[in-house]
């Protein structure tokens, strides 16, 4: 969302977040976000004066526009850190490390951290990175991503997706971005190892590697993998109701040493499905803490394949119980209401500190 929001009972908030980047450009390249960020700055200047201003990173340019607006309006600024930039950029593209634009992003990162009255992180271990930049830990607050069960208002029934995707045997699903960080080739490797088993793989998503993945499926004649376009978010739970195991694949990289919190994980847990994530348990503790799935080393294909077969051989009631643990956990600890209360607490605390200065 962008614009003026009555975020608490007593205060108003201007929340600045960039639109999705184009498929052709990198998310942090100037053509994608400089113009929208300037537009948001202009909009913010003419809106009713808020009590507090929040900027989201990535994208850093967007957070910077929110920071400038807070200075212009003389209002406190909160940064909402959803990913570590440019750290993630360098891990994905090491050749960018000494690029002048990357140096500029490092400068913006430090500036945004220093000028923030409060910093919100969606992964708790992000704190370690930010503190290493010389930032006081006391102003960093952990508020995870949350789930919005009431926002799923499907216009397609469960059976629609069962018929559309011809789901008639054990099915492993991956939904979301198809990019370098998502390690989509691993899904094909798993599928090829299991081509003689009655197991299908469904990929729903878009991204820079989608065409390459489609070509590889065709060229390698991988018959147990099908790839489809992203479906509307409101229908994702009805689609997932038809599958047996949900998959999250990531590369073995330093990119996730501070943890990860992919949105698809919340969808999978809310759908009540067992989950297999190819990462260390400490990278994403939701699955471990809730007992709703398994972890496997992304570089150990034997382990991953063995885990898929383990779930396949489980009695259906055991799979359902495992998925239910994840759903119960996410609804109890990561509901919109409980995390909204935390956000309100951070906002009130920030305003109180500014008032008392």
| Every domain of the chain and the residues it spans | 3-146+335-356, 149-333
Of the ranges 145-159, 238-252, 307-321, which one carries the lowest mean pLDDT score?
145-159
Yes or no: say if 259 and 124 are a contact pair by the CB < 8 Å rule.
yes
Q: What's the pLDDT tens digit per position in 188-227?
A: 999 999 999 999 999 999 999 999 999 999 999 999 999 9
What is the band of 281 on the pLDDT scale with cuts at 50, 70, 90? Answer: low
**Beta pairing class for 13-16 and 3-5:** antiparallel
- Return the pLDDT at 337: 83
Q: Residue 269 and residue 330: Cα distance in Å, rounded?
A: 7
- The phi and psi torsions of 101 (rounded to 5 degrees) equal -65, -35
Yes or no: say if 330 and 290 are a contact pair by the CB < 8 Å rule.
yes
Please check the confidence at residue 57 and state whether its pLDDT lies above 90: no
CATH of domain 3-146+335-356: 3.40.50.2000
Q: Residue 262 and residue 247: Cα distance in Å, rounded?
A: 12
Predicted TM-score (pTM) of this structure: 0.81
Q: Residue 4 and residue 235: Cα distance in Å, rounded?
A: 29
Yes or no: say if 344 and 120 are a contact pair by the CB < 8 Å rule.
no
Nearest CA among 87, 83, 24, 119 for reference residue 347: 119
Domains 3-146+335-356 and 149-333 agree in fold:
yes
Q: Residue 343 and residue 351: Cα distance in Å, rounded?
A: 12
**What is the pLDDT averaged over residues 18-24?**
48
Q: Residue 123 and residue 258: Cα distance in Å, rounded?
A: 8
Q: Residue 190 and residue 249: Cα distance in Å, rounded?
A: 11
What is the band of 29 on the pLDDT scale with cuts at 50, 70, 90? Answer: very low
Please check the confidence at residue 16 and state whether its pLDDT lies above 70: no
Domain 149-333 is of which CATH architecture?
A: 3-Layer(aba) Sandwich (3.40)
Of the ranges 163-167, 269-273, 353-357, which one carries the lowest mean pLDDT score?
353-357
Nearest CA among 68, 18, 77, 61 for reference residue 45: 68
Q: Residue 171 and residue 187: Cα distance in Å, rounded?
A: 13
What is the band of 255 on the pLDDT scale with cuts at 50, 70, 90? Answer: low
Q: What's the pLDDT tens digit per position in 75-106?
A: 999 999 998 989 888 887 889 889 999 999 99
Nearest CA among 276, 289, 286 for reference residue 245: 276
Q: How many CB atoms lie within 10 A of CB 145?
A: 15
Question: Three-state SS across the chain?
Answer: CCEEECCCCCCCEEEECCCCCCCCCCCCCHHHHHHHHHHHHHHHHHCCCCCEEEEEECCHHHHHHHHHHHHHHCCCEEEEECCCCCHHHHHHCHHHCCCHHHHHHHHHHHHHHHHCCEEEECCCCHHHHHHCCCCCHHHEEECCCCECHHHCCCCCCHHHHHHHCCCCCEEEEEECCCCHHHCHHHHHHHHHHCCCCCEEEEEECCCCCHHHHHHHHHHCCCCCEEEECCCCHHHHHHHHCCCCEEEEECCCCHHHCCCCCCHHHHHHHHCCCCEEEECCHHHCHHHHHHCCEEECCCCCHHHHHHHHHHHHCCCHHHHHHHHHHHHHHHHHHCEHHHHHHHHHHHHHHHHHHHHHC
Mean pLDDT, rounded, of the chain: 86
Chain centre to alpha carbon of residue 68: 26
Yes or no: say if 229 and 110 are a contact pair by the CB < 8 Å rule.
no
**What is the pLDDT averaged over residues 155-180?**
96
CA–CA–CA angle 185, 189, 195 (5° rounding): 135
């Amino acid at each position: 969302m962008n614009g003026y929001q009555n975020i608490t009972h007593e205060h108003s908030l201007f929340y600045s977040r960039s639109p999705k980047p184009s498929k052709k450009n990198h998310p942090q390249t100037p053509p994608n976000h400089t113009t929208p960020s300037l537009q948001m700055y202009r909009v913010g200047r003419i809106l009713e004066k808020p009590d507090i201003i929040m900027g989201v990173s990535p994208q850093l340019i967007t957070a910077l526009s929110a920071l400038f607006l807070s200075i212009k309006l003389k209002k406190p600024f909160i940064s909402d850190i959803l990913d570590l930039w440019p750290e993630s950029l360098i891990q994905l593209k090491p050749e960018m490390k000494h690029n002048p634009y990357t140096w500029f992003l490092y400068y913006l990162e430090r500036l945004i951290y220093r000028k923030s009255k409060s910093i919100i992180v969606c992964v708790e271990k992000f704190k370690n990175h930010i503190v290493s930049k010389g930032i006081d830990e006391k102003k960093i607050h952990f508020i995870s991503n949350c789930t919005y069960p009431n926002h799923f208002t499907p216009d397609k029934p469960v059976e629609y997706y069962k018929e559309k995707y011809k789901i008639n045997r054990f099915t492993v699903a991956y939904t979301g971005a198809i990019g370098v960080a998502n390690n989509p080739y691993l899904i094909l490797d798993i599928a090829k190892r299991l081509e003689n088993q009655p197991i299908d793989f469904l990929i729903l998503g878009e991204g820079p590697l989608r065409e390459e993945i489609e070509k590889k499926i065709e060229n390698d004649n991988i018959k147990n993998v099908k790839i489809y376009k992203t479906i509307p978010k409101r229908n994702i739970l009805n689609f997932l109701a038809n599958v047996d195991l949900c998959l999250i694949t990531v590369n073995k990289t330093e990119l996730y040493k501070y943890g990860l919190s992919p949105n698809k994980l919340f969808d999978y847990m809310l759908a009540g499905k067992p989950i297999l994530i190819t990462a260390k348990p400490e990278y994403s503790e939701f699955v471990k803490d809730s007992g709703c799935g398994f972890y496997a080393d992304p570089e150990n294909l034997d382990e991953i394949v063995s885990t898929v077969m383990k779930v396949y051989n489980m009695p259906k009631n055991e799979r359902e119980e495992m998925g239910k643990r994840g759903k119960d956990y996410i609804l109890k600890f990561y509901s919109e209401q409980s995390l909204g209360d935390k956000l309100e607490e951070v906002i009130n605390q920030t305003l109180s500190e500014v008032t008392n200065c």
